[in-house]
Structure formats: C-alpha cells, structure tokens
Structure 1
Amino acid sequence: MLNSFMEILPDMIKAFNETLYMVGVSLLVAFVLGLPLGVLLFISSKGLFSENRALNVILGVISNMVRSIPFLILLVLLLKFTQFLLGTTIGPAAAAVPLSIAAIPFYARLVENSLREVNKGIIEAAIAMGARPWLIIRKVLLPEAKSGMISGLTITAISLLGFSAMAGTVGGGGIGDLAIRYGYYRYDNEVLFTTVILLIVVVQIIQFIGDWASRKVDKR
C-alpha cells in the first residue's frame, strides 16, 4: 500500500500544483474583473449616486445568466472559445478560462452584496460634501466593504477549488483528474480518499486565512 502511494506521489504533487495554478489564475481574474463589475452593479442600482437603470439591468442579466449555467456545461460551451484563445482545450491553463468566466460574476455579486451593507449615512454624507463618484468609491465604499469583499474572495476561492476538480474530469488536470484516473478507473480507494482529504485540508487553510484577513480589516 505504501509502495503504491509513493509511486503516485510525484503525480499527486504535480496535480496539486496544477490545481493551485487553476484556482490562482481564475481567482486573480475574478478579483481584477469581478470587483469593478460588482461596484458597477451597486452604484448603478436605484437610488444610488450613479443610478443607471439600463446598465444595471444589462449587467445583472449577464451575471445571472453565467451564474445559472452549471460549471460542467459552461466548460463544454466554452471549448471553442478556449481553443481560439489558447490553441488547446486540455490542461490547467485551458481549464482556467471557464473557471475565470464562472468566477467573475460570482465574485461580482458578492462584492455588490458587501457594498449594500455599507452604512447609507456615510455615502450620503460624502455626497453632501460634494465628493465625486470615483472618490466616494475609493475612499468610502471600498474601505467600508473591505471585510465583506475578503470574505467573498474566500468563498470564491473555495468554490473554484470544487470547480477545478470538475474540470479535471474532462482533461483539465489537477486533483480531480488524479482522483478519476487513479482512484476511480483503477479502483484505488487509497488515492481517492487521499485526494478528498487533501481538498478538505486546502479548503480549511483557505477558510482560516480568509477569516483571519476579514477580521483584521473589519472596522466594526
């Protein structure tokens, strides 16, 4: 049993690194694009200083459409786009494309919800003082919602970890691919349970770091 485990240890390390790559890239894309999208969804909503009903509806519909598609179906739908973008549909880099697209609206909605928890009185005071929209966003909204946005990023990272395991079943690599190839197809329960335990440990670490960072910046 120990010998068989040592034989696949290099593959397990490689799979773990591929999973970290997929989650890391897609999480970065989600933050870079999802954060401004979430801010736009919030400030363009009814009663806010940059209210724009048409923009809010369009962004909301697009976000909800992407979020409503199960990830495996989204992955298949984006195969041609991934092929066009990277020239391949196999490997962690290819899997990062649908992961990123799934993560952007997911995180954007979490950012929007965090911003809705900001005290309206603070926003109104900034408007009364003549602050411009960009200044309100940068000096009021983002600092006040920082704790919630970090929690949202934590939730997004954990969700992406699960999605990456699904991507592994269709050639994306990573821990999911290892679990299917060695654990399922070869009926090796040791490998299957090891990958599950590894995922659980990673989730716990992500959650711990996210909770710590969220508490650290919480002003309440």
Structure 2
Amino acid sequence: MNNLIKIRILSLVAVVLATNLKAAEVPELDRLKEAYRGAVGRVVNPLTQMYLTELEKLRDVYTQAGNVVGADTVKAEIAVITQKIADAGKGTETLMEAMVVVPPNDPNGVTFGPVHRGDVITLSYLGGMWKNAGRLATENPDAIITEKGEQSRLVIAAPPENGVPGTVYQVVPPHTAAKPFSYTVPQSAAAVVLRINANSDDKSNPGFVTYRLTLSR
C-alpha cells in the first residue's frame, strides 16, 4: 500500500471518528443544558411569580387612583411577564429583550438579527406617536382605529435594499399594550427590521414609538 493511499485511509478514519465523537457528545450536552435550565427555573420561577403578584397589586393601586398612564404601563409589564412564564413552561429560551425606539423616517428602523426559522418575535407597545406623512405625530400604531389605517402600523420587514424599504413580513396588529403580539419566524434571515408600514423612507415623517421587543427560541 503506497503512502498516498495510507494518507487517504487515515484521513477518512479521522473524519469518521470525529463525526462519531461529535454525535456522541450531543446527548450529554443536551442533558447538561436541560439540567441547567431546570436549576435556573427552580430559582427564577418563584421570584417571577412574586414579581407578577406585586405588579398586579401596583396596577390595582394605579387604577383606583385614576392614574390611567401608570395602570397601562404596569399592564404592559404584566403582559410581558405572563408571556415569559408561558414561554418558560414550553422550555423557550429568551435570546434578546429590549425596549426599542422606532423612528418613522428610516427604512432601517430598528434592525436586529440574525433570526432562525421557528424563533418567536414578541412585541408590546409602550408609548409614543408617529405619522407616515405630514408634520405632526398624531398616530398611535397600537390604536384600533387610526387616521391612516394600516399605513401607520408597525411592521416586521426585510432590511432595505439600495434605500428602498424591504418586503413586509407582518403588520403588527393593535392592542399589543394589553396583549403582546408574537410572530413566528418562517425562514432564517441575517436581519429583520421594525419600521412604520408606509413611507418609511420619507425623512420628514414626525415622531417615534417605543415597543418592548423579545426574541426567543
């Protein structure tokens, strides 16, 4: 057997061994991850439930005092925490959680990623007004009825190409302050964008809106 054949055989054996070793390591890693998540859950879940209870008390205090803004803000936080508890029950991992300020005059909006097929993007409105035309920010994208209809809604979209706003994947519906909206990513992408639905490339559009963004897997 010449040296070239020996080298090829040894290379093939090395690849097979490496593949088998990698396959053998996966179950142990999965079990370790599961044990870790279980341990974290046993510590964090009771604290989360306590936090939720205190939030509900605070909501009631604000409601009884007639503080509508305070009550609505706390309700939004309650909705987020409730969603977290539901996700924890499903074994979902939170990859990112942030408060994002979305401008109405930039097709890049708020860009984040990468995202993978099956990831879940959850959004809840926190505040702010904007408009896809004019000079006054008078549109609430979370309101059921708006002057501009769907044009002033928040959307999940592809990044722009050559300054042209990207394809809209999903229009975010209203009432997310009370009930966060979740969107399951149908296809992996390097990045996705949160922006106003129409005329996001008009630099004169006024205002901004704030949402809580969560990406989970």
TM value normalised by structure 1: 0.27
Larger Cα Rg: Structure 1 or Structure 2?
A: 2
